């Protein structure tokens, strides 16, 4: 009887001690799974999962893998840093789910989620008197890129009235996307004279001025918090000016096909000419891109990087006088979704112009962080998955801007955030 009581007492003490150990180990397992999932997702978001010495999660449908005890892949490293995966008694499994129950806004167009499962087999202590000699500690975590409704119009200028100016018989129709005006001026958003503006949301850091039969829906949220440049983290294209093509000029009814490359002095197309741009990146090293006078442009999977140097002065993008452009940005790669990319060191004071009966069917981002983008005089821009990010924007004089965002389409502009989902 005494012996039985002693065994029971030992078991109770063992239960308390081993229970405390298992609780501590369980907390460690949760921390390790959380850290590994979040670090892995951050690496995927930044693209270092591809460029790192130990790549992971590459390709359209990455296969799951089990970490080794000295694995250099990011999720494995962060699991070890948090106490799991350094010994053979641990199992760390990394997988890449394409859907997560209850999550409808997972990002599209790449690897959007990573799941990490950690497991450890523990040897029990005194609790063996009453039962098993081992126990299992397990935890899992899933992190994902979550897409929210993006902005189709982002005005970066922190000051100045009419940072976004919409006037004179203009229609702005933005479906599934919003407007953000970062200017803190009293009339940062100015809309007047028979204009119609409709968007999913309108956020203005400063104030607005809406007058003379202007309809702006929904009512702007004023005194909103400022947002940053949504493309600030994207590296600019690299290039060498050696052997560049000098001031490409296409005019007088020419029909031409251009290839990606460095164009010193830019590209000028005029007078009833037709140009097809083959897929790739076009470096406009000074001079910009000028299309003027009954010009037709087409290009699929293209990016125009508008830059300059000490020998080639910056020139803006100018589409005027009956220009018809059907252009789309790359659907993958480091420049995914970007059609025009302005050098972030370009001088202020230039205007990127889309005017005078010019009609653009554009898929991609017009990224001009240092310029005024002007759409006017019967000019129109519209298509799916279009966004304008500029220092300031003017839409005037019978112009129209029409955008529909389809977040299921590769290359669609998205506001992305990393979330620990479960």
407 against 159, higher pLDDT: 159
Instruction: Please write the tens of the pLDDT for every residue from 222-277.
Output: 999 998 898 888 999 999 998 898 889 999 999 999 999 999 999 999 999 999 99
CB under 8 Å to 178, separation ≥6 — which residues? 149, 150, 151, 152, 153, 199, 200, 201, 202, 203
Lookup result for tokens 């007088």: 252
Return the pLDDT at 1: 47
- Per-residue pLDDT at 360: 82
Confidence band of 334 (pLDDT split at 50, 70, 90) = confident
pLDDT of residue 15: 47
Task: Kindly state the greatest CA–CA separation across the chain.
Answer: 110
The pLDDT value recorded for residue 272 is 97
Query: Nearest Cα to 25, choosing from 112, 88, 83?
Result: 83
What Rg value do the Cα atoms of the chain yield, rounded?
Answer: 28
Residue pair 415/147 in contact (Cβ under 8 Å)? The answer is yes
How does pLDDT run across 130-157, given as a tens digit for each residue? 455 667 899 999 998 776 668 899 999 9
Q: Residue 197 has which token pair?
A: 């503006």
* 8 A C-beta contact, residue 117 and residue 93: yes
Average of pLDDT values for 387-409?
86
> If you average pLDDT over residues 82-90, what whole number do you get?
92
Report pLDDT for 29.
Answer: 93
Token pair in block for residue 203 = 């956020």
- Do the Cβ atoms of 209 and 228 come closer than 8 Å? no
Residue 22 pLDDT > 80: no
What is the distance between the alpha carbons of residues 165 and 77, in angstroms, rounded to a whole number?
50
State the pLDDT confidence band at 24, using cuts at 50, 70 and 90.
Answer: confident
pLDDT at residue 14, as a whole number:
47
119-123, 257-261, 399-403: range with lowest mean pLDDT:
119-123
Question: pLDDT band for position 20 (50/70/90)?
Answer: low
Q: What are phi and psi of 20, to 5 degrees?
A: -65, -40
Packed helices 2-46 and 74-81: angle between N→C axes, nearest 10 degrees: 140
The confidence score (pLDDT) of residue 16 equals 47
Q: Which two tokens stand for residue 79?
A: 């699991």
Q: Between the ranges 27-31, 136-140, 341-345, where is the mean pLDDT highest?
A: 341-345
CB-based contacts of 6, cutoff 8 Å, min separation 6? none
* pLDDT of 414 above 60: no
Q: Quickly tell me which residue has 């202590």 as its tokens.
A: 125
Q: What was the pLDDT predicted at 132?
A: 59
Please say whether the beta carbons of 385 and 413 come within 8 A.
yes
Structural domain boundaries in the chain: 2-148, 151-411
Res 13: pLDDT:
47
């Amino acid at each position: 009887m005494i012996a039985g009581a002693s065994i029971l007492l030992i078991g109770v003490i063992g239960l308390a001690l081993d229970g405390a150990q298992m609780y501590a180990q369980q907390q460690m397992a949760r921390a390790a799974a959380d850290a590994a999932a979040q670090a892995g997702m951050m690496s995927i978001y930044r693209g270092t999962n591809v460029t790192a010495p130990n790549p992971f999660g590459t390709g359209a449908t990455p296969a799951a893998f089990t970490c080794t005890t000295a694995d250099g892949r990011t999720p494995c490293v962060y699991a070890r840093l948090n106490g799991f995966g350094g010994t053979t008694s641990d199992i760390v499994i990394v997988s890449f789910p394409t859907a997560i129950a209850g999550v409808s806004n997972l990002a599209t167009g790449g690897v959007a989620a990573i799941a990490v499962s950690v497991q450890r087999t523990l040897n029990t202590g005194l609790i063996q008197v009453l039962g098993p000699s081992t126990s299992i500690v397990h935890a899992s975590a899933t992190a994902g890129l979550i897409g929210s409704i993006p902005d189709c119009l982002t005005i970066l200028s922190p000051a100045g009235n009419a940072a976004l100016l919409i006037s004179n018989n203009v229609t702005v129709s933005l479906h599934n996307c919003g407007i953000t005006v970062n200017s803190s001026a009293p009339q940062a958003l100015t809309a007047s004279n028979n204009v119609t503006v409709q968007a999913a949301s309108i956020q203005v850091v400063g104030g607005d001025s809406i007058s003379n039969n202007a309809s702006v829906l929904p009512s702007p949220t004023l005194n909103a918090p400022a947002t940053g440049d949504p493309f600030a983290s994207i590296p600019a294209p690299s290039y060498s000016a050696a052997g560049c093509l000098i001031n490409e000029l296409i005019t007088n009814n020419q029909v031409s096909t251009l290839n990606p490359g460095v164009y010193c002095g830019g590209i000028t197309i005029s007078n009833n000419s037709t140009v097809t741009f083959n897929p790739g990146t076009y470096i406009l090293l000074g001079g910009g891109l000028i299309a003027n006078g009954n010009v037709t442009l087409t290009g699929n999977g293209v990016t125009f990087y508008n830059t300059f140097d000490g020998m080639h002065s910056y020139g803006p993008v100018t589409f005027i006088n009956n220009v018809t452009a059907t252009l789309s940005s790359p659907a993958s790669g480091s420049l995914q979704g970007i059609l025009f990319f302005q050098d972030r060191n370009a001088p202020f004071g230039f205007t990127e112009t889309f005017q005078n009966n010019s009609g653009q069917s554009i898929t991609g981002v017009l990224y001009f962080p240092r310029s005024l983008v002007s759409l006017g005089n019967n000019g129109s821009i519209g298509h799916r998955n279009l966004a304008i990010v500029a220092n300031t924007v003017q839409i005037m004089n019978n112009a129209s801007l029409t955008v529909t965002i389809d977040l299921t389409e590769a290359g669609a502009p998205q506001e992305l955030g990393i979330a620990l989902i479960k």
